[in-house]
């Protein structure tokens, strides 16, 4: 626990350039832990962007090779005043550890490293071959790892990837994630007048860049959550009836979910689609922030000359990121009012990915978790994204086994992020059981 606390204290916020030295420090923490545990070829790989950490133990000839993936970077912790205890001062409270990154993903990455280290310490060897590839820019959409996987597929050769960066569907319910949504994330830049202008002097003649942003955003999605981007839904695949039936058997109370997890008076989203389909198998569009104009105390009569809107779409099978970007660009141009120039600046993208639940590496993961948690493992999809999973499939021909030990109320990306201490222990036990099962024929 002390070691994990030390890890969580490092503010490895990949989105903030001023934290680059801290991100680097977190990569050293991961590197040193793996090297001390007995992993070989431990290296901090710095080509561009934040470093990758690699290490391996390949002394089980004839046994499968797993590629353990995780990320040591975290989301920015703000709004700081909503945290009960400060995000970078981890504390134990009610059986949980609270800190930014406790569940996403430092705590879960720690589970993965500790499981391997424990086996090496206790047995002097692993029952299988294990590589680690850990990145430091997952949360900011960095593409350094993508370049690395494309350039060095042979050095990452594996039978399956192993990822602890997702959540269980409910406490005590072992869960495997077999689908992730993809993402297109970017900014809409609007330029109007040459500078901010007096709204009395120029109102009626000068375009307003902030209003233009609002008009564009309003045109992209209707009140019922339908995205109004022509062609966007063309490639969307309906989930199979069999998969929908597995979702319908999950223990779930929509009102409780809405009241306790979401905390809103009603649901948003496409009313004609069931909730899990909306969350896991339908594309969505969200605005994350709009910058521009005057937001201080009191009044200032100004026509904003520029605005920046952060926006993302979640993608589902079989949508193609490049095609979605082109569709979005056309929709932005069509929605922009007269007198402004509106452009889309792409920051990151990744396609959706799916894993076959019948794959033997997935099946063994289900058995390992079942053994530790005492309940039958369920298969779900996740609305979030882990961008590299698609490339593991494409370049390494490796299915990703997504064994997550987070809980639905862990507040990832939000104030008061936490990780259950019991799940840290059960996670370690599940992984050790998994290593042994994978090693068996
Ligand atoms: N750990 C999450 C993915 C996740 C989200 C798993 C929700 C389970 C439930 C991951 O670190 C993440 O947040 N990814 C980003 C990627 C994006 C910035 C490219 C995401 O989904 O927003
Ligand atoms: Zn994560």
Do 329 and 383 lie in a common domain?
no
Residue ID of nearest Cα to ligand 1 atom 8 = 166
Tens digits of residue pLDDT in 365-388: 999 999 999 999 999 999 999 999
Q: Tell me, what's the pLDDT at 193?
A: 98
Q: State which residues form the domain around 287.
A: 182-236+283-350
Please identify, among 334, 350, 366, the residue that sits at the C-terminal boundary of a domain.
350
Q: With contact defined as beta carbons under 8 Å apart, do 233 and 225 qualify?
A: no
User: Residue 71: which residues within 8 A CB-CB, separation 6 or more?
Assistant: 105, 109, 134, 135, 136, 137, 138, 139, 165
Do 312 and 337 lie in a common domain?
yes
- Percentage of the chain surpassing pLDDT 90? 98
Q: With contact defined as beta carbons under 8 Å apart, do 351 and 314 qualify?
A: no
Residue 254 lies in a domain: no
Residue 264 lies in a domain: no
Band (pLDDT 50/70/90 cuts) for residue 16 is very high
Tens digits of residue pLDDT in 172-210: 999 999 999 999 999 999 999 999 999 999 999 999 999
Q: Which of 105, 107, 136, 138 to mutate to test the pocket of ligand 1 (most atoms within 8 A of CB)?
A: 138
Query: What CATH number does residue 398 fall under?
Result: 3.40.630.10
Which two tokens mark 292? 């521009």
Do 96 and 123 lie in a common domain?
yes
Q: Tell me, what's the pLDDT at 244?
A: 97
Looking at the CA of 169, name the nearest ligand: 1
My answer on whether omega of the bond before 105 falls inside 30° of 0, hence cis, is: yes
Looking at the CA of 386, name the nearest ligand: 1
Q: Which of 158, 149, 162 is nearest to 395 (CA)?
A: 149
Residue 384 Rama label (left phi>0; alpha psi -120 to 50; beta): beta
Instruction: Look up the pTM and report it.
Output: 0.95
Tens digits of residue pLDDT in 211-240: 999 999 999 999 999 999 999 999 999 999
Burial (Cβ within 10 Å: 0-12, 13-18, ≥19) of residue 376? exposed
Residue 7 lies in a domain: yes
Do 339 and 357 lie in a common domain?
no
CA–CA separation, 70 vs 114, rounded Å? 13
Average pLDDT over residues 409-432: 98
Do 18 and 156 lie in a common domain?
yes
Do 47 and 103 lie in a common domain?
yes
Average pLDDT over residues 41-50: 93
**Rounded to the nearest whole angstrom, what is the distance from the C-alpha of residue 369 to the centroid of ligand 2?**
20
Say if ligand 1 is within 6 A of residue 141 CB. Answer: yes
Tens digits of residue pLDDT in 312-343: 999 999 999 999 999 999 999 999 999 999 99
Q: Which of 383, 384, 405, 423 to mutate to test the pocket of ligand 1 (most atoms within 8 A of CB)?
A: 384
Q: Is the pLDDT of residue 413 over 90?
A: yes
Tens digits of residue pLDDT in 64-107: 999 999 999 999 999 999 999 999 999 999 999 999 999 999 99
Q: Is the pLDDT of residue 142 over 90?
A: no
Say if ligand 1 is within 6 A of residue 65 CB. Answer: no
Q: Which of 435, 393, 412, 390 is nearest to 403 (CA)?
A: 435
Burial (Cβ within 10 Å: 0-12, 13-18, ≥19) of residue 188? buried
Say if ligand 1 is within 6 A of residue 410 CB. Answer: no
Query: What CATH number does residue 206 fall under?
Result: 3.30.70.360
Residue ID of nearest Cα to ligand 1 atom 6 = 166
Q: Tell me, what's the pLDDT at 48?
A: 82
Do 155 and 211 lie in a common domain?
no
Residue with token string 């779900």: 380
Say if ligand 1 is within 6 A of residue 168 CB. Answer: no
Half-sphere exposure of 70 (CA within 13 A, CB side): 28
Say if ligand 1 is within 6 A of residue 183 CB. Answer: yes
Do 191 and 165 lie in a common domain?
no
Q: Is the pLDDT of residue 36 over 90?
A: yes
Please identify, among 350, 367, 392, the residue that sits at the C-terminal boundary of a domain.
350
Do 170 and 191 lie in a common domain?
no
């Amino acid at each position: 626990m002390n070691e994990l606390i030390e890890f969580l204290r490092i503010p490895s916020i990949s989105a903030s350039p001023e934290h680059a030295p801290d991100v680097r420090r977190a990569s050293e923490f991961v590197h040193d832990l793996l090297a001390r545990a007995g992993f070989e070829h431990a290296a901090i790989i710095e080509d561009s962007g934040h470093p990758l950490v690699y290490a391996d133990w390949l002394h089980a000839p004839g046994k499968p090779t797993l590629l353990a993936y995780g990320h040591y970077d975290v989301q920015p912790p703000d709004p700081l005043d909503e945290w009960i205890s400060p995000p970078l001062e981890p504390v134990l409270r009610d059986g949980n550890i609270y800190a930014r990154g406790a569940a996403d993903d430092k705590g879960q990455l720690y589970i993965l490293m500790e499981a391997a280290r424990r086996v090496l310490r206790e047995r002097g060897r692993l029952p299988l071959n294990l590589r680690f590839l850990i990145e430091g820019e997952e949360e900011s959409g960095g593409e350094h790892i993508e370049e690395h996987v494309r350039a060095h597929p042979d050095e990452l050769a594996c039978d399956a990837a192993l990822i602890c960066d997702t959540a269980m569907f409910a406490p005590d319910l072992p869960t495997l994630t077999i689908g992730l949504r993809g993402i297109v994330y970017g900014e809409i830049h609007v330029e109007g007048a040459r500078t901010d202008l007096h709204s009395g002097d120029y109102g009626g003649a000068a375009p307003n860049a902030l209003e233009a942003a609002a008009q564009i955003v309003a045109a992209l999605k209707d009140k019922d959550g339908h995205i109004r981007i022509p062609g966007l839904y063309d490639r969307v695949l309906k989930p199979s009836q069999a998969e929908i039936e597995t979702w319908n058997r999950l223990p779930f109370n929509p009102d409780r979910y809405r009241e306790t997890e979401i905390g809103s008076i009603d649901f948003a989203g496409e009313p004609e689609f069931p909730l899990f389909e909306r969350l896991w198998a339908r594309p969505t569009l969200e605005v994350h922030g709009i910058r521009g104009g005057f937001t201080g105390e009191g009044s200032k009569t100004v026509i904003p000359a520029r605005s920046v809107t952060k926006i993302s779409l979640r993608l589902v099978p079989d949508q193609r990121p490049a095609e979605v970007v082109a569709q979005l660009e056309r929709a932005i141009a069509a929605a922009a009012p007269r007198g402004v120039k509106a452009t889309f600046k792409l920051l990151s993208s990744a396609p959706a990915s799916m894993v076959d639940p019948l794959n033997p590496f997935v099946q063994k993961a289900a058995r390992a978790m079942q053994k530790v948690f005492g309940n039958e493992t369920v298969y779900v999809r996740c609305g979030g994204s882990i961008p590299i999973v698609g490339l593991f499939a494409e370049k390494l021909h490796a299915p990703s086994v997504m064994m997550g030990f987070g809980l639905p109320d862990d507040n990832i990306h939000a104030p008061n992020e936490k990780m259950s201490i019991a799940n840290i222990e059960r996670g370690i036990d599940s992984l050790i059981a998994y290593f042994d099962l994978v090693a068996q024929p």
